[in-house]
Amino acid sequence: MSDLRRVLVLNGPNLGRLGSREPDIYGATSYKGLVDSCRTLGTELGFDVEVRETNDEGEMIRWLHEAADGSIPVVLNPGAFTHYSYGMRDAAAQRTAPLIEVHISNPYTREEFRHTSVVAAVATGTIAGFGIGSYLLALRALADELTG
């Protein structure tokens, strides 16, 4: 059994296509690169990081329930679910540990429909616009939240 604190990094639709999907917006880092970066920093911070990606809203909701039931901290990039998934928002609201919303790009510099997050009001905080670095900042913020 590991002494590391379990953390879930949950990714919504199309994030598994990082590196090939609109690299001018989402960068050239592949999904594997994201996973490796999160796990490496997580270990340094004392976390056992599990990174998941889904295009299925129901699966995301089940993962958020798993996190709530297990008091597992979450880094969440809801992808397009950010703007309309009230079911996912309600699942995130049930959190029993910190939940940090992340976005690779800055939604406020993009199309107007991306300016609204239904998750932000129930998250511990939101980090956006720093590319893959948004995830690393979120992991550092989790470490601060959990030790503060």
Interatomic CA distance for residues 76 and 82, integer angstroms: 10
> Hey, is 134 helix, strand or coil?
helix
* Residue 104 among known ligand-binding residues: yes
Q: What six digits make up the tokens of 137? A: 């900042």
Residue 26 bears catalytic tag? yes
Interatomic CA distance for residues 35 and 40, integer angstroms: 9
- Give, for 91, the enclosing helix (H) or strand (E): helix 86-93
* Residue 114 among known ligand-binding residues: yes
* Residue 52 among known ligand-binding residues: no
Contact 83, 116 (CB under 8 A): yes
* Residue 65 among known ligand-binding residues: no
Q: For residue 77, which of 34, 21, 30, 29 has the smallest C-alpha distance?
A: 34
| Residues found in the chain | 148
> Of 103, 108, 115, 135, which residue is the catalytic one?
103
> Would you list which residues are annotated within the binding site?
77, 83, 90, 104-105, 114
> Would you list which residues are annotated within the binding site for substrate?
77, 83, 90, 104-105, 114
Q: Active-site positions?
A: 26, 103
